């Protein structure tokens, strides 16, 4: 299943809305200065503002568009470390 990927700049992630029983967030990878959030649906504008989410794309984590978005946004924040692979 393709999911929506976001970077959270304040290490917060969306909680299920009132009346929702499904899991909204599939996984969260916590780092020191940011978090990578995988969601099953698009984030609402309120969630984007509250959690300071930056949209990376829809798909699987190792898709090129998601990796490029992650590298681009983290390099803007001077967090990204280039790995020699």
Closest CA to 12 of 43, 58, 57: 43
Asked, for residue 54, whether it belongs to a domain, the answer is: yes
- pLDDT at residue 50, rounded to an integer: 93
Over 70: is that where the pLDDT of 51 sits? yes
pLDDT category at 3 given cuts 50, 70, 90 is very high
Q: What is the pLDDT of residues 20-50, one digit of tens each?
A: 667 889 999 998 889 999 999 999 999 999 9
Asked, for residue 10, whether it belongs to a domain, the answer is: yes
Structural domain total, the chain = 1
Asked, for residue 84, whether it belongs to a domain, the answer is: no
Residue 14, CA distances (Å) to 1, 23, 60 in order? 20, 10, 19
**Structural domain boundaries, residue 36:** 3-76
Give the separation between CA 12 and CA 55, rounded to whole angstroms.
14
């Amino acid at each position: 299943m393709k999911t929506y990927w976001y970077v959270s700049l304040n290490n917060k992630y969306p909680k299920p809305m009132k009346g929702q029983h499904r899991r909204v967030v599939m996984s969260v990878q916590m780092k020191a200065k940011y978090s990578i959030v995988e969601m099953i649906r698009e984030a609402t504008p309120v969630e984007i503002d509250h959690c300071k989410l930056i949209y990376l794309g829809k798909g699987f984590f190792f898709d090129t568009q998601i990796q490029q978005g992650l590298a681009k946004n983290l390099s803007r924040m001077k967090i990204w470390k280039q790995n020699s692979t």
